Amino acid sequence: MITLSATLLAEQKKATAVPYVELKAKENMASVTRYRWTRYYTGAEAITRHAATVPVDNSLIRARIVANGGNWDLSYSRVASPGSGSTYSSWNTLISTISNTAGLALASFGARVILVYVDAAGTGIYCLTSADNGATFGAETLVDTALASVTYLAVTYRDANTIRLFYATSANIVYTVEWTLAGGWGARAAWTNTATTITGLAARYYQDYNLALSGTDATGDSHLWQCIYGDGYSEFAGVWGALKAIMSANTGTNVAHQHVSLTRTDAFRLIHLELFTGAGAYTIPMATHGLPGTDYDDNLWREPWPLNITCSTGVVLSAGSTSAWLTTPNGVWCATPVDLDLTANLLSVRSVLSDQGGRLIAEVDNSTGTYLETASGKGEAWIGCELRLGQGYHTSAGNEVSTHLSYWVTGYELTAEPGKTRLILYAVSPWEILEAWRSDRQIAWAAGDASIKEILQYVLARVGFKLSLDNASGQLSTVMPGFTITPAFTIKPGESAATAVRRLMDYLTDGVRFQNATAVFTDRTASDASVYTLGTTHAIKSARYHSGHRPPLPNRAQVNTNGAFGLSHDWTHIELQGAINRQELVLNLTTETQADTHASALLRQATIAAKADQVTIPPSCGLELNDVVDLTDSRAGLSAAKRRVTGIAIAYDTAKPKFEQELTLGGL
């Protein structure tokens, strides 16, 4: 149950409470901010290596390599207040005669900016620095002289007093060099990893030095990797973490990865080029992001998606305090997310939610044309945005709500009738979003590779959702299903994320609920304590109490595994109905404890499904799925009977007026 303030908790129990329902449309794609790109500039610049950054004043700084006769120059652009009408075609030459194959690197921290490039010989690495948001630069400084030709550069600030450069060479070795305010540029140090080729490099500091790389391994397989150079958080300072694959392609697939860009806003965000050289060849930028509140080392990324941009040297992603930017040598795109508060015009909301899914329909007054596609409404961009529902009341402390329920828009209508114009939004729960994701390949974990928690984290992250444990079973993090002959767990091509999650949950007694974009797992046991009381201090308007199930539910579970046997009984219902067996063969469990847990999970599901009470109440704003409540209703002979919340429906209508919550209550 969501923790409520004392004033809201007291108000929701009153017979005369005044409802307050809030609905906000948020530019969120699952757990992160959604960027909808608008192209601000289309130029004629040649496609060469390039870089960009946004310092604290939100100016847009770009650099590119420009042909000058038989040489190559470093060209620079600074747009002080970038917008749709700004001039992006103005470039100035900063340095003449540089390498056109080593690339460029830009980074900023506050008003400080650093620009790194390589001389025409291909080994001399130089930098320019600025203390005024890139308006002016000092003289060039030698950073390092590489042992082989430089191929890729990446630079990042740790703070105002520390900068770290990473660069790759034609020998496919990555080196790092640190600058400090006290000591200047230090000596290079080589990494401890290996790659057969390196085709992209990016870095961003947050707690550690976080790197993204592309290239191939000794087998010829192409990878998009992440890696950490430690600063004492996930790795000890000065220690290289292992390469971890974000995306991989076998050598026979003709797929390769190149030109990586990495930044961090509400989460780490990554863009790289995906190349296919077979029939129907393509080169396309692919975008992905991590999850807010997770560590870079967790290697949790959303399934990458393509960007409608063409540039053979990659796309650079950078962000300021209000907008994000994509840049190529001849293009500039901007995204400025804007949330909308629909509360003042909200007419009605109907929502239903269970562990099988849910939906929401909201009707909003559009009599002033606020939500016309050509006005301040979102038009087609309603599709995919998050609707965050707040249930609450007018209290002595003001308007108070609980905002833990989120739905994602899949459709909308603009209606026009005499004296009545409406915007109607249709949205679904996270379960439907998980169902929509289908694996485009086989994904397998061998026995012992990962716990169920880690597999769940991976699957949820591919759709952009986070995982949290709240009094979860120990089995959730300790069971490693599988044996050494076949993979422990396999997601088949075409299988949905929802199916994969439910198959994993069959091993557990845990239930799951969503708090906005976070899947929260909690163990469901017969000894769970009640979190709320219905029927005494919180009135029941109407109720229908149902026990039993058609067809009869199992009351005895037998689980045969790879070398073990599990058994669980519901003695009460065996006495009433005789034994109703459910038998399962689960070869990717190996111990008696795992088998017994799986058998218990099967009967736990049956116990909960054996009751389906329907109770209508004034909304209890903090109740969630899987909460246990005490139910008292003398009309049905119930006194503090324990029930588990399995469904929540909300009805709010300003015209009737109506504000009700219908709970579906299962067994304990």
Identify the pLDDT of residue 373: 66
Nearest to 30 by CA among 247, 300, 413, 273: 300
Arithmetic mean of pLDDT over the chain: 94
Residue 550 DSSP label = S
Dump pLDDT digits (tens) for 176-213.
999 999 999 999 999 999 999 999 999 999 999 999 99
Dump pLDDT digits (tens) for 363-408.
999 998 888 765 456 778 899 999 999 999 999 999 999 999 999 9
Weakest-pLDDT range from 248-262, 299-313, 330-344, 584-598? 584-598
Which of the four pLDDT bands, split at 50, 70 and 90, describes residue 585? confident
Identify the pLDDT of residue 395: 97
Which of the four pLDDT bands, split at 50, 70 and 90, describes residue 552? confident
What value does the CA radius of gyration of the chain take, rounded to a whole number of Å?
A: 29
Q: Which amino acid is at 71?
A: N
Whole-structure pTM over 0.85, yes or no? Answer: yes
Label residues 106-138 b or e (16+ Cβ within 10 Å = b).
bbbbebbbbbbbbbeebbbbbbbbbeebbeebe
**Average pLDDT of the segment spanning 20-35:** 96
Q: Which helix (H) or strand (E) holds 430?
A: helix 430-436
Identify the pLDDT of residue 485: 29
Dump pLDDT digits (tens) for 205-229.
999 999 999 999 999 999 999 999 9
Dump pLDDT digits (tens) for 478-503.
655 543 223 378 999 999 999 999 99
Handedness of CA 385, 343, 654, 517 (dihedral sign): positive
Residue 379 DSSP label = G
Weakest-pLDDT range from 136-145, 415-424, 528-537, 599-608? 599-608
Which of the four pLDDT bands, split at 50, 70 and 90, describes residue 593? confident
Is it the case that residue 557 has pLDDT exceeding 70? yes
In whole angstroms, what is the distance from residue 97 CA to residue 70 CA?
9
**Average pLDDT of the segment spanning 338-360:** 96
Handedness of CA 490, 496, 499, 502 (dihedral sign): positive
Which of the four pLDDT bands, split at 50, 70 and 90, describes residue 588? confident
Identify the pLDDT of residue 600: 86
Which of the four pLDDT bands, split at 50, 70 and 90, describes residue 446? confident
**Average pLDDT of the segment spanning 569-588:** 87
Which of the four pLDDT bands, split at 50, 70 and 90, describes residue 590? confident
CB-based contact 663:615 (threshold 8 Å) = yes
In whole angstroms, what is the distance from residue 373 CA to residue 371 CA?
6
CB-based contact 205:156 (threshold 8 Å) = yes
Identify the pLDDT of residue 374: 55
Half-sphere exposure of 75 (CA within 13 A, CB side): 22
- Residues paired with residue 590 on neighbouring β-strands, in sequence order: none
Identify the pLDDT of residue 118: 98
SS3 state at 175: strand
Identify the pLDDT of residue 602: 86
Which of the four pLDDT bands, split at 50, 70 and 90, describes residue 125? very high
DSSP string, 455-518: HHHHHHHHTT-EEEESS--THHHH-----SSS-SEEEPTT-BHHHHHHHHHTT-SEEEEEETTE
Is it the case that residue 258 has pLDDT exceeding 90? yes
CB-based contact 652:641 (threshold 8 Å) = no
Nearest to 459 by CA among 413, 387, 512: 512
Dump pLDDT digits (tens) for 603-659.
888 888 888 999 999 999 999 999 999 999 999 999 999 999 999 999 999 999 999
Handedness of CA 538, 539, 543, 545 (dihedral sign): positive
Q: Which helix (H) or strand (E) holds 246?
A: strand 244-249
Identify the pLDDT of residue 67: 97
